[in-house]
Amino acid sequence: QKEVEQNSGPLSVPEGAIASLNCTYSDRGSQSFFWYRQYSGKSPELIMFIYSNGDKEDGRFTAQLNKASQYVSLLIRDSQPSDSATYLCAVKETGGFKTIFGAGTRLFVKA
């Protein structure tokens, strides 16, 4: 059973701080990794994807990938109250079309 593990949280950070969200996965052959944000009552929206080891930056978001450790993370700089949501880590399965989603980490950014 392929798994994606996330700390359910809630993770609480003050406004302006860096929020760090972590994820581990079991499928060693996975090549594609995604972070989605889901506000309460809404569907997930893609934040960013990463395929290569290292860091990938997009605005206030940085995704980090370490395939050897089977670890993906998302950093949110200058956190804002509007960033309060559930963040889903997702890993595309090897050799198929399905993407395995973690259960999500709830983030609260306090004003």
Partner 1 sequence: GAVVSQHPSWVICKSGTSVKIECRSLDFQATTMFWYRQFPKQSLMLMATSNEGSKATYEQGVEKDKFLINHASLTLSTLTVTSAHPEDSSFYICSARYVDTDTQYFGPGTRLTVL
Judged by the rule CB under 8 A, the positions of this chain that interact with partner 1 are 32, 34, 36, 41-46, 49, 88, 90, 92, 97-99, 101-104
Question: Between 19 and 36, whose beta carbon lies closer to partner 1?
Answer: 36
- Whether residue 48 contacts residue 32, with contact meaning beta carbons closer than 8 Å, is answered with no
Work out how close the CB of 41 gets to partner 1 at its nearest, in angstroms, rounded to a whole number: 8
Q: Which is nearer to partner 1, 18 or 103 (CB)?
A: 103
Least Cβ distance, residue 34 to partner 1 (angstroms): 7
By C-beta, is 79 or 105 nearer to partner 1?
A: 105
* Integer Cα distance of 13 and 76 in angstroms: 11
18/31 with CB nearer partner 1: 31
Q: How far is the CB of 78 from partner 1 (least distance, A)?
A: 26
* φ and ψ at residue 64, rounded to 5 degrees: -125, 135
Between CA 91 and CA 5 the distance in angstroms is: 10
Judge whether 77 and 16 are in contact, CB under 8 Å.
no
Of 51, 52, 27, give the one whose Cα is nearest residue 102. Answer: 27
